[in-house]
Structure 1
Amino acid sequence: MQRLLSLLRVSSRPALVENARGYGTRRESKPWKQRPNRKAKLALVLTEDVDKLGRRGHVVRVEHGYGRNWLLPQGKAVYATPDNMELYGAREEMQGSDSEADIAAFVKGVFAKHDISVTVPSEGGEWSVHEQHIAKELRRFCLHVPLDCIQLSKPITSIGAHPVFLTVDDENEISFTVNVVSRDTRQTGQYASEGYVAPLFITFQHNTSLAGYKHYLS
């Protein structure tokens, strides 16, 4: 009986494996204690505009400490769950969609919910708006438009309304009206309470015909 118990105790021990030096080491399998991937960032949905990070409804990926110690406690962001993404109109929900109807609806929603603006720094000197300024702002809404698809007859250098065209393909072209408003107009008018610091900004008024629009998502 004692011999049987000793055999059972020996067989219940972890198996031994030899390392490079020939010493026996115990094999321990603890998959539940694997180290977390510290390089993976935290996906959050912004509940309000955050300077140098994004606007309300944007899905951002930040360091865990920054998200858990600042954004989440301050109420500036929530976890990027499906419910929260739907609640705040997160911009990643259209990724991977190929339907023209879905794409058109997505683009219409972007322009319906948000004013797309481009800030142009100026101190009374010369300034101009080029294709890259427009493309940069569109990227903030996950609309990645190549520069050669943005058609300007010439750089915008004056206050007022200017036509802009986005060429989708040979058969589809989307028109926008670019309104350049001066700093004085903004400070004394309806934008005075928004706290802008740049002298000029540009807003785009979308055309109602967006069928066939192709967006570019990274």
Structure 2
Amino acid sequence: MEIILRTNMDNLGALGQVVNVKPGYGRNYLIPQGLAMLATPANKKRFELERKKLQEKLDAVRFAAQELADKISAVALRIPVRVGEGERLYGSVTSGNIADLLNTDHGLDVDKKTILLNDPLRALGDYTVEVRVFQDIRALLQVAVVRHDADQAGQAEVPKTDAVETTELAVEATQAEE
């Protein structure tokens, strides 16, 4: 089945290109979604009239996606996590966690499906994560996975000993009695 693409498609082709696809894919997905139209002589003429509008719309979406990619690249996420023995994380940091932080803390509209993580992050450290913003526009996001009890400077607190804790409890009890 020959169709005319009305948008750029990663695996098929560019806007305006005539391609052959399986009939079910074209009839059940591409045409109903408005991504393509049948390649008839009448549709080819109609498409040529529409081409300029579609190209302008695609350029606007691409420009907005590039702005979002620039904003994402400027962000450095710091994700505090709980760790156990041997600096091993309880659980892991997933693309959903990263997307939630970007959406809530930084006001960026990022879907977790666009964050390209091969495997969840399971260790402390600095990572570079790729975010697919648009078809061929990608952003690199810096993610630092740190201990949850680290202070603002990024250094871990000194663990308290039993003697220090006992002294602190005695001071608190004295203050409560006063």
Give the TM-score normalised by the residue count of structure 1.
Answer: 0.33
Which has the larger helix fraction? Answer: 2
Give the TM-score normalised by the residue count of structure 2.
Answer: 0.40
User: Relative contact order (C-alpha < 8 Å, sep 6+): which is higher?
Assistant: 2
Larger Rg: 1
